[in-house]
Amino acid sequence: MNECYYDRRMDFFYNKTNTDTVDEWTGPKLIVVLCFGTFFCLFIFVSNSLVIAAVVKNKRFHFPFYYLLANLAAADFFAGIAYVFLMFNTGPVSKTLTVNRWFLRQGLLDTSLTASLVNLLVIAVERHMSIMRMKIHSNLTKKRVTFLIISIWAIAIFMGAVPTLGWNCLCDITACSSLAPIYSRSYLVFWSVLNLVVFCIMVVVYIRIYMYVQRKTNVLSSHTSGSISRRRTPVKLMKTVMTLLGAFVVCWTPGLVVLLLDGLNCTHCGIQHVKRWFLLLALLNSVMNPIIYSYKDDEMWGTMRRMICCSSEDRSQDRHSSRIPSTVLCRSTDTTGQYIEDSIIQGTICGKGDLGEKGNS
């Protein structure tokens, strides 16, 4: 029968798993990590708080997409909290932690990152549903959105608690990983592969959105005069899609690959030397999300700017904007490219059928 080590401190597991401690993150290296982490966390707290406040304050944002966007901002805000807790429990302090405190540290990170990832997936599906039906917003009711949000956090909390519930190596030291000394290598393989699969699903969803919007662009281009918009539109579409997908690839893939390699017991991959940098890179996704998903919306940015400047816009501009949905404009031929680009995020395309309906009304 294997012996269990629930009452040991983390230095015991670091030694048992032969974790490389030569490159100890003390002195200048630790200061650099803490400085970068502090800056990122402050930005995460401020920017995501503004997103949530904007959704609550502006009644034009009381739709499923914006509720999910606010939940994504909440998940990213929680990621900032998790990283602050990590900063105070990393470096030399790691070895002095109890098993329960180390589980809490990693559980907060796993919960926050899973919540952000699942939020991104749900937003992608919601946008797909809206665009395919040529609607500004999906038909999700408030009850269904509430259920989705609760489900997102339930999944995230469960995934963060799985190692604590028993999928660990406290009773089997030989199965312990190197990056996470009390996590089983099998769990790291499961967690990294699962997230990579979700990432692939997101890629497929956005590719379908891109292909559909491209077809609609060709239809709209046939009704426009001049070739400038026809040349610019595909470029704008590609830039927007690559921004959405590229941010996720750059921020998440390296860390997931490192976890997968550790789970596969790759002892010559040098993962110990890059783990903290890849963690910072994953944190960048929470920094970029409010920029990509919120600042692309002119009205969202305007609402946040007014909250920052504590001033309101001219009344005539407010009256004019109240008659026009946020970033959803059937524009002239000179702005067709920008309209289609915004449609990827806002989920509507003013096609020929829409113009006909407006004419009949």
Q: Tens digit of pLDDT per residue, the chain (361 long)?
A: 567 888 888 888 888 766 654 455 666 777 777 787 788 889 989 888 988 998 888 888 888 878 888 998 899 899 889 988 988 887 778 888 899 999 999 999 899 888 988 887 888 888 777 777 666 566 778 888 999 999 999 999 999 999 999 899 888 888 888 888 889 989 999 999 998 888 888 888 878 877 777 777 677 666 555 444 444 544 454 554 467 667 777 888 888 888 888 888 877 777 777 777 787 788 788 888 778 766 666 777 788 888 888 644 444 454 444 444 444 333 333 333 444 444 444 444 334 444 344 444 4
What's the whole-model pTM score? 0.76
> Which two tokens mark 2?
């294997």
- Which residues in 89-109 are b (16+ Cβ under 10 Å) and which e? bbbeebbebebebbbbbbbbb
Q: Which residue has the tokens 């629930």?
A: 6
* CATH superfamily, region 10-222+229-309: Rhodopsin 7-helix transmembrane proteins (1.20.1070.10)
> Which two tokens mark 299?
């009205």
Cα–Cα–Cα angle for 85, 90, 95, rounded to 5 degrees: 125
SS3 labels along 65-108: HHHHHHHHHHHHHHHHHHHHHHHCCCHHHHHHCEHHHHHHHHHH
> Which two tokens mark 145?
């959105």
